[in-house]
Amino acid sequence: MQPDVSFLEGHDLAVFSASWCGDCRRLKRFFDTTGIAFREVDIDVDPAQAVRLERETGKRAIPYLLVDERAWVRGYHKEHPVRLDPRLLLEELRNVVDWSAADSAGSA
């Protein structure tokens, strides 16, 4: 059974990644199989984006997701045996989307 990812519709998900990154391939494969739309930001093609990632997250690890150009979510779970826990990732994304919606409503 596919997880409910409808809460992501209409949101911009930028996946900061590189072609050599196994965790990145795993994340993009998960997104492809669940129908989650994303755009890829390849930090090898655009090194300025690698600088941005480190400046804004304090991390060099990839993949990272930037949601609606406002909030960062890691796209890997080093504590998980296969390094990606889809349930946890979707929970983290839902929290960011809910926070972003509440923040936008509060500033209106």
Which token pair is 23? 């965790």
How many structural domains is the chain composed of? 1
pLDDT in tens, 3-42: 899 999 999 999 999 999 999 999 999 999 999 999 999 9
pLDDT in tens, 61-101: 999 999 999 999 999 988 888 899 999 999 999 999 987 66
**Cα angle 37-6-84, degrees, rounded to a multiple of 5:** 65
List the beta bridge partners of residue 15: 40, 65
Closest CA to 73 of 104, 81, 44, 85: 85
Q: Which residue has the tokens 């930037």?
A: 66
Domain that holds residue 20: 9-103
The runs of H, that is alpha helices, within the chain are 22-34, 47-57, 86-106
- 108 assigned to some structural domain: no
- 1 assigned to some structural domain: no
| CB neighbour list of residue 90: distance below 8 Å, 6 or more residues apart | 3, 5
List the beta bridge partners of residue 71: 67
- 41 assigned to some structural domain: yes
The predicted model scores a pTM of 0.88
Instruction: Report the Cα–Cα distance between both ends of the chain, in Å, rounded.
Output: 38
- 40 assigned to some structural domain: yes
- 3 assigned to some structural domain: no
Question: CATH number, domain at 24?
Answer: 3.40.30.10
